[in-house]
Amino acid sequence: MIKILAIILVILLLVIGGERGAATLVSLFWNILILTVSIFVMGWGINPIIVTAVSSVLISNSTLFYQNGKNVKTIASFWSVLIVILLLFIVIYKMCYSANLRGLNEIIQNEDEVFGFSLDININMAKIAISMIIIGLIGAAIDSAIAVSSAVYEVYKNNRHLNVKELFASGIAIGRDILGTMVNTLYFAYIGESLMLFLLFKNFNYSILEMINSKAFFQGFASIIFSGIGCVVIIPITAIITSYLLKNPQKFKRLLDEDELFKEQELN
């Protein structure tokens, strides 16, 4: 069944997406490979936070530059994602240690797949919990960043007279429009993934206080909250970086050599 579903996905990407769909497929493969290697490296005892930092850069690079090329949109998105991860890292680190998160929650530990196995695997599980939240944050941050940068890019392409402040205002306005759908997407993804968890809470007669103090609930809730915060914070950051790059291409000529918009300007 997994093979059949994978084949259906590949066919749809190639038929509907065409060349861009093929690029998406290759990028997806590389991201899976990066995460797989990261898991092995963590298992060898390398600090999970360092591994996650390197993986985040590689995943952002693969997702943005390979799929969309090197241009103002992808450069602005790339730096915005890194800035947001750095800004939230300290809060995530502090929260995970304060809440005593350890990667596995009390319900998962009783599942058939792990029951009977020793959880003493010589890895700092608090750092694994931090890595899990950051990896969950990356996807949402990249999605929001490329949406805002692409919109600001198109606004400038059709209105070359706009200054940095006006482009930034356009980016914020566009970001507000996509913000609701982004946050709802994260919310429904969590609800769908945790539906069984809520049924267990109900059938085991958990009180509200017991539920919200459960690691199983808090770990998923923290992940969606940080992803939501990332989606909000990245909007103004992406808008200002994109606006500044668009209005000051001469300062970043080496970075923007491949951007078709500025090649066109030079020809004119």
How far apart CA 4 and CA 10 sit, in angstroms, is: 10
Domain definitions of the chain by residue range? 48-267
Q: Which two tokens stand for residue 96?
A: 């995970």
For residues 249 and 258, give the distance between their C-alpha atoms in angstroms, rounded to a whole number.
12
pLDDT tens per residue, the chain (268 residues)?
Answer: 889 998 998 898 889 888 878 888 888 888 889 999 998 998 888 888 899 999 989 998 888 888 777 888 888 999 999 999 999 988 888 888 887 776 555 455 444 444 445 555 567 777 888 888 888 888 888 988 999 999 998 898 888 888 889 999 998 998 888 887 777 877 777 777 777 777 777 777 878 787 777 777 787 788 888 888 888 999 999 999 999 988 887 776 666 666 666 655 554 4
What residues contact 65, with CB distance under 8 A and at least 6 apart? 74, 78
72 and 261 Cβ atoms separated by less than 8 Å: yes
pLDDT, position 189 = 75
Where residue 100 falls (left for φ over 0; alpha for ψ -120 to 50; beta otherwise) is: left
Distance, in Å, from the CA atom of 221 to the CA atom of 206, rounded to the nearest integer, reads 17
**pLDDT tens for residues 129-168?**
888 888 888 888 898 899 999 999 889 888 888 888 999 9
- CA pair distance 49, 137, nearest whole angstrom: 14
**DSSP track, 125-151:** HHHHHHHHHHHHHHHHHHHHHHHHHHH
**Cα-Cα end-to-end distance for the chain:** 55
Other beta carbons within 10 Å of 116: 6
pTM, entire model: 0.80
Residues with Cβ within 8 Å of residue 156, at least 6 apart in sequence: 162, 167, 243, 246
Distance of CA 136 to the CA centre of its chain: 6
CA 70 to centroid of chain Cα atoms: 19
Tokens of 31: 């991201």
